[in-house]
């Protein structure tokens, strides 16, 4: 694992705040995917992301942004969101970079899981299901398609 | 012949006429052209050898295999994410197929500013024709235009903007929407199925999963390329070396090989910076399916710079990563994805005379990301210039207007924070948004220009040969002297084909 287990709660908390999905629904898969994905990056990027997560969760950073002497996980949901947003719109370019990196990482970790596609109305893979999904082979979705009518291959 | 780590015979000393680094547009075209003349050609490709059976439409499996740095490559401050293919076929294996010729006015600009009088429309015409034939380039038929592309045509007509249906390079495409993860139906006529296929049939050999890390010119007719496969070094000895690693990777390889005389390698990076907006409709759009980018609306001012709009297919992960809002509302909004459409705004950058972008190795303190490294690491720096910025925001405004004109109920521009727009009259508000790094989501899939071809100050001459290193050529997107203002695949192929026609690598 790239991130120590004791940061799991922090990672889930960041994911919950950014994505708007309860931590219990993010689950182990979210943590595992973050670790797997980051682990595939170059060493210097792994180090950057580890530093970012640690800094983001720290009391010192929360104090600097919200004047509350608490860690990120100890904040109320409203303050957590305020804190994340304050990174995104900060005048300090580095914090905005951190915001973008965390949003991308969380977005990837949850939505790269095909099982979550259904929640978004995605109808699944087309392979082997070409006529049931919105492809040119499906008369339901493309009534004028010669492929759907079988006029072509 | 294709060599993979599994089929490699452990031969570590290989001699060839031509060693080509990279198998994207530039590498594939060069390999096909030179192998058909009977030269021995070796292609060295860092990415995996992949075929349709690998393309299982699973992002977790494919993104790390097909994209450089897991698709997280970006400028140092992460304000522009840069998508780059890393696989057999290069970026063409994952690209969205739009196949457009370089506009005449761009070629005329090259002649005027860079002395490239051999690249005028009358010279490139036959190359375009030949490429379009080989790649089966054709206009997307009307019945195949997806709902989320149709809105560009309809909306632009209502707003009286120039719009058109786009051509692409496919054969029997079923519009599955997975172009970005490789085509599971072998419908996309990418380099693997066209010019690389030709080269292999002519006897070329491709070393895949093989990373070239050093080029050492010993004389005009003798160069050594060192590469690694499975942590073992292979030495390729070649009469000519062709660097075709892309506009991001080619300058890095040249720099780490010390081939930087002239001081231009890695400079002049153009990106065609992209932003986007997502609109929610009452009807199904299915943006995760369909043929990508089958329509465009465009605006170019009389200097030839401006923007154009397209609608790519939206892989689920791209939607999840890039949806512009955060917080409790985010997932709820994403649940409406099947009734959403995304329009991207692409800008021909360089309107202020040059671009402010550079690719280079860097060590020490980097103030753009706060990183301190003792080891050299790759660095991409880019700033959007004032006029390019204006074009981006004009394009964003137009994209929003198109969405509302075609029935969108709500639109979220990719701004941070993203305002939730509910009426067309709000579209101009995007101009008030602060244009700072990471306050607007920016992307690029079109890096160009970092080894500029020029008769004046540049890296290569009109034949693609490096000015200070005889026998070393650069033939890929990095030689384009300016951003081309259309999706660049066909421009790269045609420029490379023309460079070979002009010089034939001096063989
Ligand atoms: C997602 C996406 C969508 C796109 N959509 C379109 C589109 O619709 N239309 C269009 O015209 N263009 C599109 N493009 C852009 C187009 O595909 C590229 O401009 C074009 O492929 C660039 O060609 P190239 O030869 O410069 O480099 P690439 O095609 O990127 O190929 C470079 C290859 O070199 C390899 N390489 C790099 N360094 C080394 C090394 N040191 N050793 C060994 N191998 C190395 C890389 O792994 C890579 O495979 C898209 C690109 C992307 C990423
Ligand atoms: S949309 Fe067409 S070309 Fe693209 S992956 Fe699907 S079938 Fe292949």
> Are the Cβ atoms of B176 and A133 closer than 8 angstroms?
yes
Nearest alpha-carbon partner for B29 in B12, B41, B15, B17: B41
CA distance B313 to chain A (A): 12
**Collapsed DSSP state (helix, strand, coil) of residue B52:** helix
Give the residue from A138, A142, A143 with the most B CB atoms within 10 Å of its CB, the best one to mutate: A142
A-contacting residues of B 218-277, CB under 8 Å?
Answer: none
Specify the CATH class of B79-86+136-187+273-349+384-444 in words: alpha beta
**DSSP 8-state symbol, B101:** P
Which among B199, B253, B265, B259 has a CA at the least distance from the CA of B226? B253
Could you tell me the distance, in angstroms and rounded to a whole number, from the CA of residue B374 to the centre of ligand 1?
30
Under 8 Å between Cβ of B465 and B454: no
Query: Strand (E) positions, A1-153?
Result: none
What span, in angstroms and rounded, lies between the C-alpha atoms of B171 and B187? Answer: 5
Distance of alpha carbon B86 from alpha carbon B84, whole angstroms: 6
Q: Rounded CA gap, B248 and B271, in Å? A: 10
Ligand 1 centroid to Cα of residue B106, in Å, is 21
Tell me which residue in B174, B316, B438 faces A122 most closely, judged by beta carbons. Answer: B316
CA B133 to centroid of chain Cα atoms:
21
The residue ranges of chain B whose pLDDT is under 50 are none
Q: Most A CBs within 10 Å: which of B438, B440, B441, B443, as the mutation test of the A interface?
A: B438
Angle at CA B194, nearest 5°, toward B89 and B315?
A: 50
A5: Cα separation from own chain's centroid: 19
> Residues of B with CB below 8 A from A89's CB?
416-417, 439
Q: B417, A85: Cβ pair inside 8 Å?
A: yes
ipTM for the predicted complex: 0.94
CB B367 within 8 A of CB B329: no
Interchain proximity A126–B289, CB inside 8 Å = yes
Q: What is the mean pLDDT of residues A128-138?
A: 95
Tell me whether residues A133 and B338 touch, CB distance under 8 A. no
Please give the Cα distance from B235 to B245 (Å, whole number).
18
Nearest residue to B146 via CA among A75, A93, A135: A135
Atom of ligand 2 nearest to the CA of B176: 6
Q: Is ligand 2 within 6 A of the CB of residue B178? A: yes
Q: From CA B131, how far away is CA B133, in angstroms rounded?
A: 5
Of B56, B327, B335, the CB nearest to A81: B327
B26 CA to middle of ligand 1, Å? 9
CA distance A68 to chain B (A): 20
Choose among B479, B477, B446: nearest CA to B465.
Answer: B479
Instruction: Find the B197 Cα to ligand 1 centroid distance in Å.
Output: 17
What are the angstrom distances between the C-alpha of B275 and each of A14, B374, B412, B468?
25, 34, 12, 38
- Ligand 2 centroid to Cα of residue B291, in Å, is 7
CA distance B205 to B9: 13
pLDDT digits (tens, 9 = 90+) for A95-126: 999 999 999 999 999 999 999 999 999 999 99
Kindly identify which residue of chain B lies nearest to residue A112, measuring between CA atoms: B317
B74 to chain A, closest Cα gap in Å = 10
- Between vectors from CA B261 to CA B255 and to CA B266, what angle results, nearest 5°? 45
Confidence of residue A153 (pLDDT cuts 50, 70, 90): very low
Query: Which residues between 294 and 323 in chain B have a beta carbon less than 8 angstroms from any beta carbon of chain A?
Result: 316-317, 319-323
Contact yes or no for B69 and A144 at CB 8 A: no
Between B147-158 and B386-405, two packed helices, what is the crossing angle to 10 degrees? Answer: 100
- Which tens digits make up the pLDDT trace of B269-304? 999 999 999 999 999 999 999 999 999 999 999 999
Helix, strand or coil for residue B388?
helix
Give A149's pLDDT tier (boundaries 50, 70, 90): confident
Cα–Cα distance list, B439 to B77, B211, B272, B363, B430 (Å): 12, 36, 18, 27, 12
Testing the interface with B: which of A96, A132, A143 to mutate, by most B Cβ within 10 A? A96
The full DSSP string for A54-114 is HHHHSHHHHHHHHS--S-GGGS-HHHHHHHHHHHHT-SSHHHHHHHHHHHHHHHHHHHTSG
Report how far ligand 2's centroid is from the alpha carbon of B490 (Å): 18
Residue burial B51-77, b: 16+ Cβ < 10 Å; e: rest: eeebbbbebeebbbbbbbbbbbbbbbb
The partner residue sitting opposite A120, judged by closest CB among B174, B337, B370, is B337
Q: Compute the CA torsion angle B321, B325, B326, B328 (nearest 10 deg).
A: -120
Closest residue by CA, ligand 2 atom 8:
B183
Give the phi and the psi of residue B139 in degrees, each rounded to 5. -70, 140
Q: Could you say which DSSP state residue A119 is in?
A: G
Residues A142-152 as b/e (b if ≥16 CB within 10 A, e otherwise) read: beebebbeeee
What pLDDT, on the 0 to 100 scale, is given for residue A151?
A: 62
If residue B505 lies in a helix (H) or strand (E), which one and from where to where? none
CB contact under 8 A, A44 and B375: yes
Pairing outcome for strands B340-347 and B356-366: unpaired
Please name the residue ranges forming H helices in B222-266: 246-256
- Cβ contact A83:A66 at 8 Å: yes
B290 lines ligand 2 (CB under 6 A): no
Burial class, B413, CB count within 10 angstroms (exposed 0-12 / middle 13-18 / buried 19+): buried
CA B195 to chain centre: 18
Name the residue facing B174 among A21, A130, A144 (closest C-beta).
Answer: A130
* Closest ligand by atom to B168 CA: 1
Enumerate the domain spans of chain B.
79-86+136-187+273-349+384-444
Q: Do B60 and A19 touch (CB under 8 A)?
A: no
């Amino acid at each position: 694992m790239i991130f120590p287990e004791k940061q799991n709660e922090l990672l889930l908390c960041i994911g919950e705040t950014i994505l708007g999905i309860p931590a219990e629904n993010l689950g182990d898969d979210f943590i595992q995917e973050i670790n797997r994905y980051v682990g595939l990056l170059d060493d210097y990027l792994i180090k950057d992301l580890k530093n970012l997560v640690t800094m983001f969760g720290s009391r010192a950073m929360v104090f600097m942004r919200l004047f509350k002497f608490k860690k990120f996980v100890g904040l109320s949901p409203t303050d957590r969101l305020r804190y994340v947003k304050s990174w995104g719109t900060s005048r300090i370019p580095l914090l905005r970079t951190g915001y973008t990196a965390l949003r991308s990482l969380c977005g990837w970790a949850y939505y790269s899981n095909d099982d979550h596609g259904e929640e978004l109305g995605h109808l699944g893979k087309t392979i082997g299901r070409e006529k049931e999904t919105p492809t040119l082979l499906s008369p339901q979705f493309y009534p004028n398609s010669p492929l759907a009518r079988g006029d072509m291959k | 012949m294709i060599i993979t780590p599994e089929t490699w015979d452990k031969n570590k000393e290989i001699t060839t006429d031509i060693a080509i680094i990279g198998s994207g547009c530039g590498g594939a075209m060069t390999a096909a052209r030179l192998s058909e003349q009977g030269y021995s050609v070796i292609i060295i490709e860092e990415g995996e050898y992949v075929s349709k059976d690998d393309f299982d439409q699973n992002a977790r499996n494919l993104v790390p295999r097909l994209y450089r740095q897991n698709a997280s490559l970006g400028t140092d401050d992460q304000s522009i994410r840069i998508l780059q293919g890393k696989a057999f076929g290069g970026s063409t294996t994952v690209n969205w197929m739009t196949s457009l010729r370089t506009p005449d006015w761009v070629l005329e600009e090259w002649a005027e500013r860079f002395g490239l009088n051999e690249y005028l429309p009358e010279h490139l015409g036959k190359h375009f024709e030949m490429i379009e034939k080989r790649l089966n380039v054709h206009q997307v038929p009307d019945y195949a235009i997806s709902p989320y592309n149709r809105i560009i045509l309809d909306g632009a007509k209502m707003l009286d903007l120039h719009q058109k249906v786009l051509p692409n390079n496919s054969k029997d495409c079923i519009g599955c929407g997975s172009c970005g993860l490789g085509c599971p139906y072998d419908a996309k006529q990418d380099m693997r199925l066209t010019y690389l296929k030709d080269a292999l049939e002519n006897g070329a050999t491709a070393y895949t999963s093989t990373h070239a890390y050093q080029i050492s010119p010993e004389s005009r007719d003798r160069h050594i390329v060192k590469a690694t496969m499975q942590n073992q070094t292979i030495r390729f000895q070649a009469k000519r070396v062709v660097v075709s690693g892309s506009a991001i990777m080619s300058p890095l390889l040249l720099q780490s090989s010390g081939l930087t005389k002239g001081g231009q390698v890695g400079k002049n990076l153009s990106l065609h910076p992209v932003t986007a907006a997502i609109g929610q409709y009452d009807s199904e759009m299915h943006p995760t399916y369909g043929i990508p980018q089958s329509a465009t609306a465009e605006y170019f001012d009389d200097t030839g710079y401006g923007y154009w709009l397209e609608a790519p297919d939206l892989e689920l992960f791209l939607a999840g990563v890039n949806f512009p809002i955060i917080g409790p509302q985010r997932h709820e909004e994403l649940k409406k994805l099947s009734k959403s459409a995304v329009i991207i705004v692409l800008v021909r950058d360089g309107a202020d005379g040059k671009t402010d972008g550079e690719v280079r190795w860097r060590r020490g303190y980097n103030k753009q990301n706060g990183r301190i490294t003792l080891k050299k690491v790759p660095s991409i720096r880019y700033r959007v210039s004032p006029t390019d910025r204006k074009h981006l925001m004009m394009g964003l405004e137009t994209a929003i207007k198109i969405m509302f004109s075609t029935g969108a109920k709500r639109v979220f521009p990719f701004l941070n924070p993203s305002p939730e727009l509910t009426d067309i009259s709000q579209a101009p508000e995007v101009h008030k948004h602060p244009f700072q790094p990471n306050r607007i989501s920016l992307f690029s899939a079109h890096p160009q220009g970092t080894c500029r071809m020029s008769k004046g100050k540049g890296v290569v001459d009109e034949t693609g040969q490096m000015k200070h290193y005889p026998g070393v050529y650069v033939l890929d997107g990095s030689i384009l002297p300016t951003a081309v203002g259309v999706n660049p695949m066909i421009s790269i192929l045609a420029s490379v084909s023309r460079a070979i026609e002009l010089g034939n690598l001096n063989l």
